[in-house]
A = this chain, B = another copy of it.
Amino acid sequence: MANKTELDSFLNFLQKIQLLSPEALEAIYSLCGLISIRKNQNLQEIGQRCRTIYFVKAGLARIFYLKDDNEVTEYFAFENDLIIRAESLFTGKPSMKAIQALENTVFIGIPAESLFSLFDTFPEIERLFRKIIEQAYVATVNRMEAIQFHPAEERYAQLMDEKPDLIRRISLKHIASYLGITQVSLSRIRAAIR
């Protein structure tokens, strides 16, 4: 198990979403574990049922899946981001998605079942979790809108504007698949705005 200072960033992250009593914090704390994964290794493989909620303490990771033998990046998680394979966690089905470290990465992991069982004792933890999902839901609806109605060039410009880190730390092929375009197409876009 991790010691308390190692979990500071995570517990702070949670407190900003929903203030928690010392008891609830302690209960969450006691479930947390640290997992280190080397660059390019997978934290979770495709086909596994997702039973853990992760938080990136340091490093960088992504969720990806295979579409016709091509890797498609669904999500990037930087330091202090949650990373959850929700389609599996909420449905109980095996996940068709993998979690991969794009740099040497330290994750904080919480077993989902243990966390969920805290909901009965600590409604405030269920509330925290509800708010997390609400935020993720709104973000996803907005991203869907972008993919549907903004040309790839705009989406690239916006992404670079919001997260200039991406281009420094993530290979362009991953960024392309995240944007829903091919690498060739992204190259063209980059050439056009140069």
Contacts and interface: CB of A to CB of B under 8 A. Distances in A.
Interface of A: 67, 72, 74, 86-87, 90-91, 119, 123, 126-127, 129-130, 133-138, 140-145, 147-149, 180
Contact of A130 (B87, B126, B147, B149): B126
A147 to B, nearest CB: 6
Please classify the interface of chain A as helix (H, G, I), strand (E, B), loop, or mixed, using the class held by over half of its residues: helix
Q: How many copies make up the complex?
A: 2
Given A126-B126, A133-B133, A135-B90, A144 B143 contact: yes
A140 B133 CA distance: 12
Contact of A87 (B126, B129, B136, B141): B141
A138 B86 contact: yes
